[in-house]
Amino acid sequence: MNLDDFVDLIERPDGSVRRDAEERRERLTVAPGALGRLDELGEWLSAAQGQVPVRPVEQPRVVLFAGDHGVAHLDVSGRPAGSAATLVRAALDGVSPIGVLARRFGVPLRVVDMSLDCDPELLPAEITRHRVRRGSGRLDIADALTEDEAEQAFRAGMAVADEEADAGTDLVVLGDISVGGTTAAGTLIAALCGTDASVVTGRGGAHIDDLAWMRKCAAIRDGLRRARPVIGDQLKLLATVGGADLTAMTGFLLQSAVRRTPVILDGVVSAACALVAQRVAFRAPDWWQAGQASGEPAQEKALDRMSLVPLLDHGVTVGEGTGALLALPLVQAAAALLAELPERD
């Protein structure tokens, strides 16, 4: 597949509509600047929708790509290798942070299994139908995916984006459920930003100790040696060190931009996928907002490279889309205010 096609397919949100939204904001009864960043959010959403006044966000959806990473067998995570399926089940049962918040906010939750290390019969068929393989390869010594698997995962992400757009989803909260995913994300970000492993290695959502951090740093270092020779081929880069879930998320982000669907990014994994997607199509980041600062150094570097400023910074590191979902009411509030506040006489 030719990823260069996305350069022509992805356009920026409508600039003339954004200017109209800014002019309308100047006429509202609330003084300009009094709503702070909510003004910017509302105008961004208006441009994404292509209309003034902005429509309220009425059909948001949480989409989580799930997978296990072979590198987790090096004890680089605070969770056991191959245990992501347990996290998926907790989310589906509503007993994890994302499950609780999605139920409380009334936002549908969708999990897409790309490479969980479990029997597919343990989960609903709707969740496992896009699975590429059982667990991704160990990125420090072997490719995470074959090239065919990478293309399959990428196309699966595109298909999910099309399904959401066709279903009327007007904003996506994007996250991951993975074990070892932050190691893959750190490797991608270090490769694309030209930094050393120690600069991007964080503690992950499970807050690993110093020994695990050193093992993670070594794994990213070894992964970087394998990633750098293929840095010019984004799909091959994802196959080498990304894994099925991150590859699918990258395809999802690019196709969502094609379909003009705005996305709120969660933590370091979604930021890594967004950074890869930016390398494919430079206009794509205009369709995204960074939901939260997770405290991961790799996320900070990726967001800085894309000029995305997090909406929230509450120290939420649990992952699974939780921080991004917490930012959703802020975006909804911005849309509601700019849509419903009256203009001055």
The verdict on whether omega for the bond into residue 53 sits within 30 degrees of 0, i.e. cis, is yes
Place of tokens 């419903």: 340
320 catalytic per annotation: yes
- Cα angle 250, 293, 296; round to 5: 75
Residue partners of 106: CB distance under 8 A and separation at least 6: none
Q: Indicate the Cα dihedral angle 277, 49, 58, 321, nearest 10°.
A: 20
Q: Say if residues 302 and 279 touch (Cβ distance below 8 Å).
A: no
Q: Which of 22, 43, 320, 343 is catalytic?
A: 320
On the CB side of 92, CA atoms within 13 Å amount to 16
Sheet strands side by side (includes 288-290): 109-115, 60-68, 171-179, 263-265, 288-290
CB-based burial, 102-128: b 16+ in 10 Å, e otherwise? beeeebebbbbbbbbbbeeeebeeebb
Q: Report helix, strand or coil for 288.
A: strand
Q: For residues 319 and 43, what is the distance between their CA atoms, to the nearest angstrom?
A: 28
- Cα angle 179, 278, 270; round to 5: 20
Q: For residues 332 and 88, what is the distance between their CA atoms, to the nearest angstrom?
A: 27
Q: Report helix, strand or coil for 113.
A: strand
CB count within 10 Å of CB 33 equals: 8
Q: How far is CA 147 from CA 114, 132, 233, 249, 316, in A?
A: 15, 12, 11, 16, 35
Would you name the residues annotated as active-site residues? Answer: 320
